[in-house]
Every structure is written in C-alpha cells, then in structure tokens.
Amino acid sequence: MSTFAFVVIITAIAGVVGTGLGGVIGVLFTRNSEKIVSLLLSFAGGVMLSIVCLDLLSDAIGQVPGSVGHVFFVVAMTAVGFGLIYLLNALVDRTTNPEVKHIDKDHPKTADQLSELIHSDHYEEHRKEYEQTKQQKSRRQLFLAGLVMAFAIALHNFPEGMVIGASYASDEATGGIGGLAAAIIIGLHNIPEGMAVSVPLVAGGMRKVKASLLTAVTGAPTILGAMLGYFLGTLSPVMLALSLSFASGAMLYVVFGELLPESILIWRSKAPAFAMLAGLLVGVVILFV
C-alpha cells in the first residue's frame, strides 16, 4: 500500500469515525460522562502540544538549516494557520448562536458543564417549549441549527486534515511517526465536535441513526485536507515547511483555543492540568521511544 493511500485511510478513520463516534455519544448523551470528556480533551491537548513543538515546528525549521529568514517564514505561516482556525471557529459561533438563545437573562454566558458547552441544555428547553406549544417553528429552528453546525464543522475539519497530511509528508523525509500521532489526537478532538452536531439534529426531530450518519459525513473534508497537506509537503522542502507551519498553527489554536478551555470549563478542578501533563509526557514517549 502506498503512503498516500494509507494517509487517506487513516485520515478517514480520524475524521469520519471520530466525528461519527461523537455523534453517537451525542444522541446517547449522559451527564455522567462530563468528567471523562474533560480529561480526554486535556490529555489530547497535551499530546498534541508535544507533537507540534517537538516534531512539526522543528521539522519545518529544519527544512532550510541555518536560514534566519526561513525561521521567520515558519513563524508567519504558523500565525496564518492559527488565525484561519480562529476565523473558522468564529464562523461557527456566529452562525449557530443566533439559533440557540439563552434560556433566560440569568443564564451564565460561559459554559461550566458539557451540556452547556454543546448547548444541549438550550436545545432541551426549545424541545420542551415545542412539546408545550405544539408549534412546528421551534422544532424547525433546532433542525436548521444542527445543519448549520454540521456545515461549519465540515469546513473546520479541512485544515485539521492538512495537519495529518503534512505530518505524514514530513515522516517520509525524517522517518518519524508524527502523522500517526496527529491522526489519533485529531480523532479524539473530533468526538466533542460530533456531539455538537448530533444533539441539535436529534432535538430537531431527526432519527438518531440518521443524525449519527450525517454527523460522520461532516468529518469527510478531513480527508481532502490530508490529501492537500500531503501533496504540498512532497513538492519541495519549502512547501513542506509551509504545510508543517500551517498545520502547527492550526493545532496550536485547537489546543489553546478549544481543548484546554473546554476541558477546564467542563470540570473546574486541577485534574485537567494533570491530564494535560500526562498527555504531554505520552507525546514525548510516542515521538522518541
């Protein structure tokens, strides 16, 4: 099997299966899983941080040894990757929040539970309102909110796929295993995203099986991103550095802008910090043992 085909397969598992698993968890959501999800998110953040700092960025800088200008190029492209993921997440918030209004004026503006983080409590309130008033409009709004979230998550998954593709392109040049590690972590990261898609779809009236399948499909753009990242990474050392830098920026935002804040909001304790440390150390073992 060629490396390209393997990249496609492993990315499909991380993107489609990871997001689909989150969809299944979402339709079977239980509040008792909050602490587990918190630890999973922070652990994944620690592993990804070690991969970015010790593998992706070092490989990107190493493509043109001794070039000061190349270092600034890597820094600039890392900032671009970070900024693009930030904008995509802002798009998610802007397009979905209008459909999910706060329950009342006293409702907290920041989530401190998984149910609030993925807005399932808001959807539940809308569902109750629908059952009480028998108005089809509320249910339709829930359904449309789920579709908007599905589209936004699909768009968001494209640059995450580039992380996997660029990492595998780097592995071919260096003999590392950063691509596999990145695929695993992105797959774990996709689980909460899948929950955010499936919950409103089911609350809006879609069957659980269909909602889970549609959620899995939103992970498909990850494959396209991986193909592009791998293709660019095999063109030349400069293009590989570009892909690795962009991927590093994308994953740094995922770590510091999503995984760690979400894990702490879900479980306000010191446990997520220890889970992140464990993930960081596991990442070191994965890369160097």
What mean pLDDT is reported for the chain?
76
Give the residue carrying structure tokens 């995509």.
88
Split at pLDDT 50, 70, 90, the class of 54 is confident
CB 288 within 8 A of CB 82: no
Structure confidence at residue 277 (pLDDT) = 93
Contact in structure between 224 and 154 (CB atoms under 8 Å): no
Q: Which residues of 51-77 are buried (b: 16+ CB within 10 A; e: fewer)?
A: bbebbbbbbbbbbbeeeeebeebbbeb
The residue-averaged pLDDT of 67-83 equals 89
Of 120-134, 167-181, 260-274, give the range with the top mean pLDDT. 260-274
Q: Hey, what are 24's tokens?
A: 């299944």
Q: What is the pLDDT of residues 267-283, one digit of tens each?
A: 788 888 999 999 899 88
Q: What is the pLDDT of residue 41?
A: 76
Residue 130's pLDDT is what? 53
* Residue 189: per-residue pLDDT: 72
DSSP string, 12-65: HIIIIIHHHHHHHHHHT--GGGHHHHHHHHHHHHHHHHHHIIIIIHHHHHTTST
DSSP codes of every residue in 192-228: HHHHHHHHHHHHTT--HHHHHHHHHHTTTHHHHHHHH
User: What is the average per-residue pLDDT within 197-217?
Assistant: 78
Percent of the chain with pLDDT over 90: 8
Task: Answer whether residue 30 shows pLDDT above 60.
Answer: no
Q: pLDDT category, 124, cuts 50, 70, 90?
A: low
Q: What CA–CA distances, in Å, run from 244 to 51, 127, 143?
A: 11, 44, 37
pLDDT at 75: 92
**Strand ranges inside 51-143, DSSP E:** none
Residue 68, pLDDT > 50, answer: yes
**Terminal Cα distance for the chain, rounded:** 25
Q: Is 160 helix (H, G, I), strand (E, B) or coil?
A: helix
Distance of CA 248 to the CA centre of its chain: 13
Per-residue pLDDT band for 80 (boundaries 50, 70, 90) equals very high
| Cα–Cα distance, 275 to 159 (Å, whole number) | 26
* pLDDT at res. 114: 47
Token look-up 């550095």 returns: 241
Mean of the pLDDT values across residues 215-243? Answer: 86
- Between 113 and 7, where is the model more confident? 7
Q: Which of 22-36, 59-73, 150-164, 218-232 has the highest mean pLDDT?
A: 218-232
Angle between the N-to-C axes of helices 208-217 and 136-174, in degrees from 0 to 180, rounded to the nearest 10: 40
Name the band, by pLDDT with cuts 50, 70 and 90, for residue 244: confident
Q: How far is CA 74 from CA 68, 164, 260, in A?
A: 10, 18, 24
Picking from 43-52, 153-162, 225-234, which range would have the lowest pLDDT averaged per residue?
A: 153-162
Quick check: 171 and 177 in contact, CB under 8 A?
yes
Q: Is the model's pLDDT at 77 over the cut of 90?
A: yes
196 falls in which pLDDT band (50, 70, 90)? Answer: low
Name the pLDDT band for 161 (thresholds 50, 70, 90).
Answer: confident
Q: Percentages helix, strand, coil for the chain, rounded to the nearest 5?
A: 85, 0, 15
Q: Is the pTM of this model over 0.85?
A: no
Nearest to 232 by CA among 222, 219, 242: 242
Task: Kindly indicate the confidence band of residue 204, based on its pLDDT and cuts at 50, 70 and 90.
Answer: low
Q: Which residue has the tokens 């983080």?
A: 117
Q: Is the pLDDT confidence value at 216 over 80?
A: yes
For residue 94, pLDDT beyond 70: no
Amino acid (1-letter code) at residue 47: V
Residues whose CB is less than 8 angstroms from the CB of residue 115 and which lie 6 or more positions away in sequence, other chains included: 29, 31, 34, 121
76 pLDDT band (50/70/90 cuts)? Answer: very high
| Number of residues that make up the chain | 289
